[in-house]
Amino acid sequence: MKKHIIIGKPINHSLSPKLHEFWFKKHNINAEYIKLEPNENELENILNKIKTNEIFGMNVTVPFKQSVLKFLDDKSDIVKQTNSVNTIYNKNGIIFGDNTDVYGFKQSLIKHRINLKEKTVMILGAGGVVPSLVCALLDMKVNKIFISNRTEEKAKSLSENYPNVEVIQWGKLENFDMYINATSLGLKDTDKIEFNYKKLNEKKIFYDIIYNPLKTNFLKEAEKLNHLILNGRDMFLYQGQKAFNLWHNIMPKVDDELLRYLYND
Ligand code: ATR
């Protein structure tokens, strides 16, 4: 039985076990996938279980995507660029860390046929997921990325690591092509982001990284004004697809059957 785990805090809400169990069954893989909410001081021990094959595959979510870095033997180039790990496995006897969030975000845009070449993008937030978004956007050849964060210092230090990234004051708004909410504002029904939608002069794209709820207030307001809206569900599914591929060398399908199973769509 191949053991998989996801570590995070909180972790109860995670849909990853359900996602991967669907694919294990589809591909006749004898495996399990469990959730774990460890303390920081347990991480080293848990990662060592990758080396001994006690754990076959691991996903990492908030707040451990950076803190597991020091326990890896080696990492992919994308991890080096983003300093963010979400997938770990045993690669030729060593603990190897990879990042499938970049792929997940990019693939979600490709699915919706969104071409961002030469476009301008504003990201709200400067937390752990933002370097992955920036890497994907730069790869998609955007013209410029603007990062706006309540704590401006965090946006500044992030922007220094990448070309074509500028900081914009929190609460300030200009006309860009796409707006991404990468803050945790929106997880609660009462969460509202101060956003002056009236200032926008044409149809824009609004993307919320959050996938539970599927429609945050950020997206609801944008939809009322006929902007194109996208939630974080596809990014979640595609990051999982790529993680499964790294572990099992199979590219599982993201299709209607999977959506029906996960969400009763
Ligand atoms: P971390 O910063 O530990 O990686 P995260 O959940 O990835 O955590 O990021 C949370 C993001 O949501 C941050 O950009 C945070 O802004 P700060 O850096 O100023 O804390 C943002 N955020 C959370 N609550 C917010 C609020 N009430 N108003 C504005 N931004 C908020």
Amino acid 52: pLDDT? 97
- 75 tagged catalytic: no
Amino acid 228: pLDDT? 98
- pTM comes to 0.96
Q: For residues 210 and 53, is the Cβ–Cβ distance under 8 A?
A: no
Q: Cβ of 151: how many Cβ atoms within 10 Å?
A: 9
Q: Which of 26, 65, 80, 141 is catalytic?
A: 65
Distance from the CA of 178 to the center of ligand 1, in angstroms? 20
Which element (helix H / strand E) includes 91? strand 87-91
Task: Work out the average pLDDT over 79-94.
Answer: 98
- What does the pLDDT look like over 195-204, one tens digit per residue? 999 899 899 9
The confidence band for 264, taking pLDDT boundaries of 50, 70 and 90, is confident
Task: Work out the average pLDDT over 80-102.
Answer: 98
Amino acid 263: pLDDT? 87
Task: Work out the average pLDDT over 20-38.
Answer: 98
State how beta strands 87-91 and 57-60 pair.
Answer: antiparallel
Amino acid 22: pLDDT? 98
Q: Nearest to residue 7, comparing CAs of 41, 46, 45?
A: 46
Q: Is the CB of 72 under 6 A from ligand 1?
A: no
pLDDT tops 90 at residue 21: yes
Write the residue with the smallest CA distance to atom 11 of ligand 1: 183
- Side chain identity at residue 250, one-letter code: I
Distance from the CA of 257 to the center of ligand 1, in angstroms? 35
- What does the pLDDT look like over 120-147, one tens digit per residue? 999 999 999 999 999 999 999 999 999 9
Distance from the CA of 56 to the center of ligand 1, in angstroms? 32
pLDDT tops 80 at residue 265: no
Task: Work out the average pLDDT over 244-260.
Answer: 97
Q: Is the CB of 150 under 6 A from ligand 1?
A: yes
Q: Is the CB of 188 under 6 A from ligand 1?
A: no
Report DSSP state, residue 195: -
The number of the ligand 1 atom at minimal distance from the alpha carbon of 150 is 19
Q: For residues 75 and 97, is the Cβ–Cβ distance under 8 A?
A: yes
Tokens of 154: 């965090």
Q: Is the CB of 149 under 6 A from ligand 1?
A: yes
Write the residue with the smallest CA distance to atom 25 of ligand 1: 185
The rounded distance, in Å, linking the Cα atoms of 86 and 260 is 25
The rounded distance, in Å, linking the Cα atoms of 192 and 108 is 24
